[in-house]
Chains A and B, each alone.
Chain A
Amino acid sequence: MGDIIEMNGIVKIFPPNLVALDDVSVTFREGEIHAIVGENGAGKTTLMKILYGMQPADSGEIILRGEKVKFSDPGEAIASGIGMVHQEILLIPEYSVWENVVLGNEPVKFLDHLDSKKAREQVKAKIKEFHFNLDPDTKVADISVAARQKVEILKLLFRNVSVLIMDEPTSVLTPQEIPQLFSELKRLRDNGHTIMFISHHLDEVLDLSDRITVLRKGKKIGTIEAREATKTGLAQMMVGRKVIFESIRKAQKPGDILFEISNLNYTDADKKPRLQNIHLQVRAGEIVGIAGVEGNGQLELVNVIMGLIEPQSGTISAMGQDVIPQSILEKRKKIAFVSQDRGNMSACLPARITENVIMTHHRLNPRFTSLGGKVLNFKQANQFTLEVQEIFDVQMTSGETLFRSLSGGNQQKVILGRELLLDAPFILLDQPTRGLDVGSIEYVHKQITTMRSKQRGILLISADLEELFRLTDRLIVMHRGRIVADLVTDKTNITEVGYLMLEGMTYEA
């Protein structure tokens, strides 16, 4: 096996203050599965995007089959046989499978007329060649995430790509879908394809790859043979210290019911039922987790609770009051909320930090206004920013700087600070650690458990099963808009929950 690609001394800077890659050099061999591992923000994806021509490197060189290359866009990379499947799947849902596959390589007839017959046949042939179970005529919007991923791979194979970059392909799959993907990837490798596999799940990496390169904070730590690697060894390389994967809850008796949803139904504009007959309760001093593959009703549940969409029937009560008819401001007296979508729902990125910190407080706490709520009290607002900075250990220069200049972890700390200091009895957390580095995740987890010991009721929605098992008292599994299980965390396991997430039932049933 010879070397196929060499990346030498790659440097990438993101203004204003992020050095994403700091002199990284990696060599890839032909016909291997090469894993790139590291925490979030370690620079894995950036490195691959540079190879793929999606982002220019600030310095460094790429050598492909002995020749120096520089791709200014993905088209050039594909033409040289390098393709990438992105974490967020880049297909056009409105187009059919074959349209997506041929896009950019379409066969045409006279007058630029699209030769759809020929295109469909070509796609069909490729599907057969690689044993993919796909129908070329279905709309991509109507197929599962795993199938979409296959379409992406197919799209690249259609362009005769020999090097395949997979950016966290398993993050959108259920535990049961992963083995199939892996066997397909292994088959591709055995056919001579080179695969680069980005992940931070060490079990997968050890299972799938031949060699592993570890990145940490934009620096390369090392490349090792997979058969010589161990999980703890890799983890240590990734974070630079030992990490423990275990529950951090202490036993505690839950209190009264703070939050209750009963018989909730929501059908969307296309008449698709999104939430069906939802019942759930959260008690004081209890963390209830919601597990499920993304798109099984979690988003709708959050939106209904927060009042962004109106359910057709059912009640949601917080502190004994039905909150559905209440204004959002009224709800916010009882509900603290951290969204998974920081930039759109939890913060105003172009505004100053202080302006972000006082949101909601400015209406609920008379401390921040004078003249009967009409005029803002900036002295108090600035003071409050300092308090949040202090209590939640935020790294920032001043409340006057823009929110977007903070790092992701610090942004989340500011948001948590704002929400938790509302002193609302019920806390709704929607993927609060998404996209954060390990240090910040640990910090957020600590805050969540602190709130639990303060007798708050917490509903935690997460796609990360490890996180749920680490934090929750009870686990609710959602599948196609229904609650299919309400389990005590200590009496279940990841395999069972994974199966429920995928199938909506346990194996026995």
Chain B
Amino acid sequence: MKIVIGLINGMLTAATPILLAALGGSMTYYAGIFNIAMEGMMLSGAFFAVLGSYYFHSWLVGILFAILGAILMALIFVLFAVVLKMDEFITGIGLNLLSLGLTTYMLRQIFKVKGAFSSLEIVPIPKIDIPLIKDIPIIGDVISGQNLIVYLTVLAVIIVHYLVFKTRFGLRLRAAGYNRTCLDTSGVSANRIRIISLLICGILCGLAGAFLSLGYVTVFTEGMSAGKGWISLAAVILVSGSPKGIALISLLFGFTDGLGLFMQRTMPPQFTSMVPYIATLIALFVYSIRLKKKQKIIGA
């Protein structure tokens, strides 16, 4: 039983940042933006989370800083891709590199260290015990006592779903993705909708970053997003943006990650570390097979 609970908790831990970033990607996906900058936004969030938590001795400030740090990246994306109309792909790559460079530079400049910064003064984000539920055996161990961000993530899935499919904003958001000109000629600025979607993406990626550096550890490592932003992008593509689908697929990725840790008893850690990336490839493979079956005209 312990193993199962451990697996489930491992799954939730691994799934949370991917899920949050993918929800952000979902917003921009519906707005018709080819946004590959989740990696950079998340990394920036992780750095600023540590910065805020370290200087203000408060995890709440840490989260706020994380969100601001990620929004800063989102704003740079807006400047280049929306205002200057630069190619979204190049903007995304450039932004990821900028985020990597900036966080490494600031790590050196502010904390005077290379590679990683850790300190007892960094306050982690607390775990939340839910009264009553925490006393139920087994279920209590899973549902209660998770990190605050885990609960926020569940909330985020619901909010994003509501936002996209139930609101006026959602109708306009999807319209921006389907046909930008149509939305413009309907009297709604598609660019405004695109900018809002990027900012929401920034908030969610900021939370993801905060979870990385203040969730179960209190450390910032160079490039600590380690491809999670790319995996979240794969998740978005695999389910065509659907928030529910993203939740499912992120849990699946999280599960394989937990499984990888579990397998460490029997094989070298380098192989178990590969598991999430191999899982992404397998998911893409399944997706491609499905797509191939209903392939349409081969266009440009």
List chain A positions with a Cβ less than 8 A from chain B: 54, 73-75, 78-79, 84, 86, 90-95, 99, 103-106, 108, 111-114, 155, 159, 268-270, 303, 308-309, 344
Contacts and interface: CB of A to CB of B under 8 A. Distances in A.
B172 A308 contact: no
B186 interface: yes
Nearest to B178: A92
A9 B166 CA distance: 47
Nearest to A343: B300
Given A92-B175, A309-B297, A73 B168 contact: no
A464 to B, nearest CB: 24
Contacts of A74: 184-187
A75 B189 contact: yes
Contacts of A308: 297-298
B211 to A, nearest CB: 27
A50 to B, nearest CB: 14
B217 interface: no
A309 B298 contact: yes
Q: Across chains A and B, which 10 residue pairs bring their CB atoms closest together, nearest first?
A: A75-B187, A104-B186, A112-B167, A104-B187, A90-B182, A74-B185, A106-B168, A92-B178, A269-B294, A103-B186
Nearest to B300: A344
Given A78-B187, A90-B179, A104-B187, A269 B296 contact: yes
A92 B179 contact: yes
B166 A79 contact: no
Contacts, number: 79
B288 interface: no
Nearest to B181: A90
B138 interface: no
Nearest to B191: A73
17 contacts: A73-B184, A75-B184, A75-B186, A79-B187, A91-B182, A92-B182, A93-B178, A94-B178, A103-B175, A103-B183, A103-B186, A103-B188, A104-B183, A104-B186, A308-B298, A309-B297, A309-B298
A496 to B, nearest CB: 32
B167 A114 contact: yes
Given A112-B167, A344-B300, A84 B175 contact: no
Contacts of A106: 168, 171
A348 to B, nearest CB: 11
Contact of A90 (B185, B187, B297, B299): B185
A106 B183 CA distance: 13
A80 to B, nearest CB: 11
A67 B189 CA distance: 25
A269 B185 CA distance: 32
Nearest to A75: B187
Nearest to B169: A112
Interface residues of B, number: 27
Give chain A's interface secondary structure class: loop
A208 B251 CA distance: 62
A307 B183 CA distance: 36
Nearest to A54: B185
B159 to A, nearest CB: 10
A24 B77 CA distance: 40
Contacts of A104: 172, 183, 186-188
A18 B295 CA distance: 41
B150 to A, nearest CB: 24
B171 A113 contact: no
B9 to A, nearest CB: 33
Nearest to B187: A75
B52 interface: no
A203 B300 CA distance: 38
Contacts of B298: 308-309
A75 B184 CA distance: 7
B170 interface: yes
Contacts of A268: 296-297
Contacts of B296: 268-269
B188 A114 contact: no
Contacts of B179: 90-92
A509 to B, nearest CB: 33
A113 B159 CA distance: 12
Given A92-B179, A103-B175, A268-B296, A114 B184 contact: no
Contacts of A95: 171, 175, 178
Given A84-B185, A94-B178, A104-B188, 13 more contacts: A75-B186, A78-B187, A93-B178, A95-B178, A103-B183, A105-B186, A105-B187, A108-B168, A155-B186, A159-B187, A270-B294, A308-B297, A344-B299
B181 to A, nearest CB: 6
A104 B188 CA distance: 6
B187 A112 contact: no
A136 to B, nearest CB: 15
Contact of B188 (A54, A75, A111, A270): A75
Contacts of A303: 297
A467 B187 CA distance: 38
Interface in B247-300: 294-300
